[in-house]
């Protein structure tokens, strides 16, 4: 590419992330390797199962649609416009493309060779983190784009093509061998054999100068090129690649790939001038990938008893802890955790059916509450219900008896896995929540048409459901029943008042409303005094605005920001606040191995405490939206 063209491309790239993190000179250097591609309307750049390209892409002009095949139909995931970056799969995965990129109009794009861009990724953590976050994203909503958002080339999380293991912290040997440069080859070989290690680092005057691996012994000593009495520096490799502590799998993988090495030296600050703290090998990367969500899903499908499912759930807990620590976007963690949790429940149902025999009629098993919203990161209770096809009156008893046995076995398995029994009895083993489709339709109509009269105070969680197993048409029928109801004024009145009656997080003096007595005295209940109200208001407004199939609180607020543009800023703040509160709760729960509801504010830094307090102000704004939107009278 001529210098003038390269400079023109560099000028274009500098306004978009991650290129804006690089110097203009670096961009000019990269631009010299870039190919300009012209595509006609409806032309495909790549499609599902195509072999990965050796480049990734940046849109210059035009529009490209990214789509996947879902339920035998092409589903649009996103649209790429000027400045958008896509096609990042070759950076992070080895399998073929998992989506199709096709022009919607004539387009010009830049193809950036991955090999020429990798050094800039390795050297610049901002570029790396931006690419990692992009690969983790999975937005199905094209309206959720902004100018500097990269387009995920990952498919739906249920297929786990955007492998979460790339964000895991690594476990590695933290007691590596370090020898002096003037020790003999024989001495070092003996040390390596005694410690069952395949590598050793070499120091000279407390400075890291080299590495020796078993490959060096095979190639330089076993062949007779060097005598075993020689000093170890005669066979060492001088270029030692160093990295800092707490490196992620993705970072380690990229560094190994770019430098074509199989060992990384971990030092305090990632340079050769500080103490050696460990060694990372390719085998460590393989071991880390063995705990990826995709592998866990396969393990779940192979499980034959509750203890195996429990082991998988424990592995998920480790992934969650690592992901939260690494500041992976919480919404992504919710999605991954939700998919694995649903897979565990699904397997529990399959195991129960294998024991009982085939069900007498089609049915659907649905999770509700936090599981239904895919917001359950901690091992709390399990809430669910079951719908079965309508049957003749003479068959009802036998059908109900089968499903009572089925749900009992499922719940027993889930409780052995570690999920607690719901204190309100909101699970399918309760005969009130295992009913025919007609009974369920009447139940939902009752909740909507006569709230308060025949409505228990926890019915609202039944409007947060996620299909788990069986005939999805039954779930669709329930959704249709909810949204076809003509007059929901009383129902909105009931839900609105219920949301506004939640205990306030802050008192009159703008201090946290902490528990006044009991075992949690002086702690803040972040669930009942903050998160619950965000969840309730999101549910109320989602039903009001007809948002079908969107159960997650964060996603509901993001969609409301598009639907109700007069309150966009409030909804976006609410979405961020929900993630912030959920993060505090998750950290508390992981630390204390509990539900994380009660936060010890004394153990939170002053700045975090102020951030938490500031975020809660959005609740007042949401309350005003509820009051302005609905006539809250009867249940006040």
What's the pLDDT tens digit per position in 106-165? 889 999 998 888 888 767 767 876 776 665 543 333 333 333 444 444 333 333 334 454
Domain 293-484: give its CATH code. Answer: 3.30.460.10
- CA 551, 555, 556, 562 dihedral sign is negative
Write out pLDDT tens, residues 344-353: 999 999 999 9
Question: Of 103-117, 342-356, 441-455, 491-505, which one has max mean pLDDT?
Answer: 342-356
Prediction pTM value:
0.62
- What is the edge-to-edge ordering of all strands in the sheet holding 64-70? 44-46, 100-103, 64-70, 73-80
Give the start-to-end residue ranges of the domains of the chain: 3-162, 178-289, 293-484, 491-629
- C-alpha 578/C-alpha 500 separation (Å) is 17
Q: What is the pLDDT of residues 49-58, one digit of tens each?
A: 888 898 999 9
Q: What percent of the chain has pLDDT over 70?
A: 88
- Residue 159: what pLDDT? 34
Q: Shortest CA distance to 210 belongs to which of 197, 201, 198, 218?
A: 201
Q: What is the pLDDT of residues 224-281, one digit of tens each?
A: 888 889 999 899 988 788 888 877 777 787 778 767 788 999 988 888 888 899 999 8
Domain 491-629 CATH class label: mainly alpha
3-state secondary structure of 249: helix
CATH number, domain 178-289, options 3.30.930.10, 3.40.50.150, 3.30.70.580, 3.10.580.10: 3.10.580.10
pLDDT digits (tens, 9 = 90+) for 518-542: 888 989 999 989 999 999 999 999 9
Q: What is the mean pLDDT of residues 576-600?
A: 89
Contact between 310 and 340 under an 8 Å Cβ cutoff? The reply is no
Q: What percent of the chain has pLDDT over 90?
A: 35
Q: Does 2.60.120.10 match the CATH number of domain 3-162?
A: yes
Pick 423 or 546 by higher pLDDT.
546
343-379: pLDDT as tens digits: 999 999 999 999 999 999 999 999 998 888 988 888 7
pLDDT at position 150 is: 43
How many Cα atoms occupy the beta-carbon half-sphere of 184 within 13 Å? 7
Q: How many CA atoms lie within 13 A of 334 on its CB side?
A: 22
| Segment 402-417 mean pLDDT | 94
């Amino acid at each position: 590419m001529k210098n003038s063209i390269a400079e023109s491309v560099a000028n274009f790239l500098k306004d978009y992330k991650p290129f804006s993190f690089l110097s203009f000179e670096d961009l000019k250097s990269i631009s010299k390797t870039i190919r300009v591609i012209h595509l006609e309307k409806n032309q495909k750049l790549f499609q599902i199962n195509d072999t990965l390209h050796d480049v990734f892409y940046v849109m210059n002009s035009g529009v490209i649609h990214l789509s996947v095949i879902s339920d035998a139909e092409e589903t649009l995931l996103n649209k790429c416009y000027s400045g958008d970056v896509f096609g990042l799969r070759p950076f992070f995965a080895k399998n073929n493309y998992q989506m199709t990129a096709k022009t919607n109009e004539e387009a010009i794009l830049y193809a950036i060779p991955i090999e020429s861009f990798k050094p800039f990724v390795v050297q610049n953590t901002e570029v790396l983190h931006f690419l990692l976050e992009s690969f983790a994203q999975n937005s199905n909503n094209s309206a959720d784009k902004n100018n500097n958002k990269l387009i995920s080339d990952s498919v739906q999380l249920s297929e786990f093509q955007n492998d979460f293991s790339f964000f895991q912290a690594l476990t590695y040997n933290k007691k590596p061998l370090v020898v002096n440069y003037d020790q003999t080859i024989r001495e070092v070989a003996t040390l390596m054999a005694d410690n069952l290690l395949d590598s050793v680092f070499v120091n000279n005057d407390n400075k890291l100068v080299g590495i020796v691996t078993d490959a060096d012994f095979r190639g330089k000593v076993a062949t007779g090129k060097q005598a075993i009495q020689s000093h170890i520096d005669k066979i060492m490799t001088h270029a030692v690649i160093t990295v800092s502590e707490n490196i992620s799998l993705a970072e380690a993988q990229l560094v190994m790939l770019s430098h074509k090495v199989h060992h990384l030296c971990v030092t305090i600050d990632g340079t050769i001038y500080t103490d050696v703290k460990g060694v990372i090998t390719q085998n460590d990367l393989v071991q880390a990938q063995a705990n990826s969500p995709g592998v866990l899903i396969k393990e779940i499908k192979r499980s034959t008893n509750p203890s195996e499912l429990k082991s998988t759930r424990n592995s998920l807990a480790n992934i969650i802890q690592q992901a939260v620590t690494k500041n992976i976007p919480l919404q992504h963690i919710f999605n991954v955790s939700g998919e694995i949790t649903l897979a565990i429940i699904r397997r529990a149902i399959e195991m129960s059916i294998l024991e009982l025999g085939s069900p007498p009629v089609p049915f659907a098993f649905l999770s509700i509450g936090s599981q239904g919203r895919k917001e359950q990161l901690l091992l709390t209770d399990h809430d669910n219900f079951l719908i079965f096809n309508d049957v003749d009156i003479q068959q009802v008893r036998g059908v109900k008896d089968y499903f009572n046995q089925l749900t009992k076995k499922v719940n027993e398995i889930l409780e052995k896995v570690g999920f607690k029994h719901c204190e309100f009895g909101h699970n399918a083993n309760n005969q009130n929540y295992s009913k025919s489709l007609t009974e369920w339709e009447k139940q939902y109509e009752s909740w909507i048409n006569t709230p308060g009269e025949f409505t228990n105070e926890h019915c609202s969680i039944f409007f947060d459901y996620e299909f788990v197993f069986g005939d999805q048409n039954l779930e669709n029928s329930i959704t249709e029943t909810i949204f076809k109801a003509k007059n929901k004024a009383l129902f909105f009145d009931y839900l609105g008042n219920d949301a506004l009656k939640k205990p306030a997080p802050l008192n009159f003096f703008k201090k946290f409303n902490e528990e006044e007595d009991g075992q949690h005295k002086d702690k803040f209940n972040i669930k009942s005094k903050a998160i619950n109200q965000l969840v309730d208001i999101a549910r109320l407004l989602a039903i009001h605005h007809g948002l079908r199939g969107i159960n997650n609180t964060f996603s509901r607020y993001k969609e409301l920001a598009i639907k109700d543009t007069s309150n966009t800023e409030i909804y976006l703040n609410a979405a961020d606040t929900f993630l912030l509160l959920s993060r505090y709760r998750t950290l508390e729960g992981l630390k204390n191995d509990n539900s994380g509801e009660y936060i010890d504010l004394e153990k939170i830094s002053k700045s975090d405490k102020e951030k938490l307090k500031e975020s809660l102000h959005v609740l007042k704004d949401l309350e005003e939206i509820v009051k302005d939107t609905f006539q809250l009278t009867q249940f006040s």
